[in-house]
Amino acid sequence: MGTEVAAGRAVLDALVEASGGVLAFDWTEFPWGCGYYEKTRDVGGTASTDEVVAAVIEHLT
């Protein structure tokens, strides 16, 4: 996960804490950060789009 993503997630996690239980997030981790790219030269795996869409749909239902 890049530093920008980590910083954004920290802000959202702080909002959850401050909301007193009104807000909640269920994070799905994907291994497609810079380290993954450096090792594979692949931006996100062959099924990345399908996996992300499936995770979003799962969280919305």
pLDDT tens column, 35-49: 888 888 877 666 567
pLDDT at 2 (0 to 100): 63
pLDDT at 12 over 90: yes
Handedness of CA 4, 34, 26, 59 (dihedral sign): positive
Model confidence, pTM: 0.56
What Cα–Cα distance (Å) separates residue 50 from each residue in 14, 46, 47, 54, 57? 30, 9, 5, 6, 11
